[in-house]
Amino acid sequence: MNAEPEPLAALARLVRGQRIAALGTLRNGAPNVSLVSYLAAPDCSAFWMRLSRLAWHTQDLLQDPRASLAIAERDDGRADPQTLMRVTIRGEALPPDREPSFLKDDWLKKFPESRVTFDLADFSFWRIVPRDVRFVAGLGRTHNLSAADLRAATCRP
Amino acid sequence: MNAEPEPLAALARLVRGQRIAALGTLRNGAPNVSLVSYLAAPDCSAFWMRLSRLAWHTQDLLQDPRASLAIAERDDGRADPQTLMRVTIRGEALPPDREPSFLKDDWLKKFPESRVTFDLADFSFWRIVPRDVRFVAGLGRTHNLSAADLRAATCRP
């Protein structure tokens, strides 16, 4: 454990406070970044996405599950955008063996407009189980965290 | 050319209106996404970044220049975040042969707080020359653009 409580609390606030993330996948061996909506598991043990099989990132993940998910504070116009908090979660993105009971309800609470995707055959849930986490709390305040560190935070109220 | 003028104008507004982007690089062959500040060339022909040699993404690019840069509208809390505009630019990120004359002044105009990096030996400019561009103007409004398409836009006033 190389993180004190304060960075973990800030990280949890960041993850709770945002809705969209940048998903990095491999496309023919090259990086491909796209925008996704995400929901964190209550204990930050997984990050859920609802992806269409027709989307490039999903095709990428079906070829190679390695993924990187970056969540950043919204740019509020401050003088130095390098002080914005951001976190990069790396791991494998896979369809779950089964969906946890909270998932559909909590997803729809966060993304009510995505209800239509539950009637479309090409959409399904995917999850990233973090392998490692790089949290930049601000300029020069970088914390390398393990998945276990992250599970000490609370990503949902 | 598979884009009408309207998407190009919207794309140019997006690129002009934001300051930060998600940069995808390869780290030991896996995707790695981090946050960077960017400046578009006036004719959108290149996207400039100012990177520290000490940062992971720079170490990644020194190993393999393939990169993906995603720029998204700020999440304004709208009902459906999937309608946010975003663009993914793919290409190689490399140090330039030489820096164009506008670069330092225009960079400092956009990022005045980064003046200190010009006194630090580990920072330098890098640029991505777009190879292809994927612009999502909103739900179901995806445009695949070439670098030539993009140069028909005007990324800076």
Radius of gyration of the CA atoms of chain A, in A: 15
Indicate yes or no: CB of B68 within 8 angstroms of CB of A114: no
In Å, what is the CA distance from A13 to each residue of A37, A141, B6? 17, 16, 38
Indicate yes or no: CB of B35 within 8 angstroms of CB of A68: no
Tell me if B141 sits within 8 A of B2, measured CB to CB. no
The mean pLDDT of B75-79, rounded to a whole number, is 96
If DSSP codes are grouped into helix, strand and coil, which group holds residue B136? strand
Minimal-distance CA residue of chain B relative to A25: B31
Element (H, E) at A56: helix A56-63
Tell me if A82 sits within 8 A of A118, measured CB to CB. no
Whether B122 has a pLDDT exceeding 60, the answer reads: yes
Report chain B residues whose CB lies below 8 A from the CB of A69: 33
Q: How confident is the model at residue B55 (pLDDT cuts 50, 70, 90)?
A: very high
How many whole angstroms separate alpha carbon B37 and alpha carbon B23?
9
pLDDT, residue B99, reads 95
Closest CA to B35 of B57, B10, B4: B57
Least confident of A10-14, A94-98, B50-54, B139-143: B139-143
Whether B111 has a pLDDT exceeding 50, the answer reads: yes
pLDDT, residue A1, reads 47
B-side interface with A, Cβ within 8 Å?
18-20, 22-26, 29-35, 37, 56, 66-70, 72, 74-75, 79-82, 84, 86, 88, 90, 111-114, 134, 136
The mean pLDDT of B113-138, rounded to a whole number, is 96
pLDDT tens digits along A101-145? 999 999 999 999 999 999 999 999 999 999 999 999 987 789 999
Question: Where does chain B have alpha helices with state H?
Answer: 5-17, 56-63, 103-110, 147-151
Chain-wide mean pLDDT for chain B? Answer: 93
- Closest in B31, B80, B82 to A25, CB measured: B31
Interface confidence: ipTM more than 0.85: yes
How many whole angstroms separate alpha carbon A24 and alpha carbon B30?
9
Q: How confident is the model at residue B4 (pLDDT cuts 50, 70, 90)?
A: low
| Residue length of chain B | 157
pLDDT tens digits along B21-47? 999 999 999 999 999 999 999 988 999
The mean pLDDT of B76-98, rounded to a whole number, is 96
Tell me if A70 sits within 8 A of A63, measured CB to CB. no
pLDDT, residue A154, reads 81
- Residues (pLDDT < 50) of chain A are 1
Indicate yes or no: CB of B66 within 8 angstroms of CB of A30: yes
How many whole angstroms separate alpha carbon B17 and alpha carbon B42?
13
Indicate yes or no: CB of B35 within 8 angstroms of CB of A84: yes
| Residue length of chain A | 157
Q: How confident is the model at residue B1 (pLDDT cuts 50, 70, 90)?
A: very low
Neighbour-count burial for B2-27, b at 16+ CB within 10 Å, e otherwise: ebeeebbebbbebbeebbbbbbbbbb
How many whole angstroms separate alpha carbon A149 and alpha carbon A155?
12
Beta carbons within 8 Å of A60's beta carbon, 6+ residues apart:
A25, A26, A27, A32
Indicate yes or no: CB of B31 within 8 angstroms of CB of A31: yes
